[in-house]
Structure 1
Amino acid sequence: MTKIKVIIADDNSFIREGLKIILNTYDEFEVVDTVNDGQEAVDFCKKHKVDIALLDVRMPNMNGVEATKIITEQTRTRPIILTTFDDDEYILDAVKNGAKGYLLKNNVPERIRDAIKTVFNGNSIMQDVVLEKIKSNLLVKKESGTKIDAKLFTEREQDIMSLIAKGYSNKEISKQLFISEGTVANYITSILGKTGLEHRTQIAIYYITGKVD
């Protein structure tokens, strides 16, 4: 079995080594390195094959959000933000910079394992508590209206983006607009194609801010 290669970046050696011990108890993972900061994580990912980078947010020299952006742009590694801080600003910045997941460190090992496997298989993972904070943050900002370039999208696409920003699932959107879930998925694919974004959380942020970077 090919193992998922993981790097852990955290300036707290206790957490860093603890995560390494936990992940090494699972046959599907190989922790290829542990580093102290975002810059070291970036350097390692540029030089070696790494599938998943677990990045703390607050680190010296380069934080996890900055490291996420560089790793996403310059390597094939998929970053997951793993932190004790569920701060709105960091959540939004990390997602915009390409983070494929955002989890709190107080998760049980099985939750972290499942998140890594989910991201490795091409999906994104956002812990419920994190998603709730994003939704509440976006809904407050929604009162000032959207800033997207409406000319780029059909009216139906704008409707769907609005509902995504409110936290609706594809199933809920299909019921709201009286269309099939498959049609909703097709519209989302079209929106992603027009914006260059990768997943629905980024669509929600774009709908509110009008920014794709």
Structure 2
Amino acid sequence: MSHFLTEHLIHRDEDFMVIHKPAGLLSVPGKGDLHDSVLTRLVEIEPNTLLIHRLDRDTSGILVFGLTKHGQSQIARQFQDRQTAKIYQAVVAGHLVGEGTIDIPVVYDPTRPPLHMVDPSHTKPALTHWQAIEHFEINGNAVTRVKLTPITGRSHQLRVHMQYLGHPIVGDTLYATPEQQQWLARLCLHAAQLSFSHPRTGQTLSFDCAVPF
């Protein structure tokens, strides 16, 4: 199991480590038989590993874990207080031009678990900045590479917001059309960059994780 850390470790110091999470692996154990996860694998290697935040199972990219209680609490507080800077990349269906902001709440849809949906009447905001980067085709289908900057951190926020914009993320088995789900064999959403302050020194740290699609 130690090869997992060898392959996926981006940074490590006394208080935390930064991991490249592969697509298709849970951040934390799920219900029932869904025991395998990044956290499970890391605890087997480093028993002091502590959860700070998580990514959807099908999303790849940067994931941070604490190695001390101090590191965990200090970095987790930065996530809660929106003091981290997160940049994702995605490939979305269609030809999207320019940039903009999506400002509409995202809430859990109890009638269609595990889906979420937009709900303008909800009081908690969900805010995403988007910017088109590149246009190309996948098997003759027009797609756009976009940079996504979530200001809030609601569950499924980026996936729901891009669907709301009319440009679902390619390979999204929850929010894209059946056709768009088949264009690539994975969800094209990746946590590419993350910045936060070091839990002891206060120095701003920035981490990058190469986009695999």
- Give the TM-score normalised by structure 1: 0.29
User: Quick check: which one's strand share is greater?
Assistant: 2
TM normalised by structure 2 equals 0.29
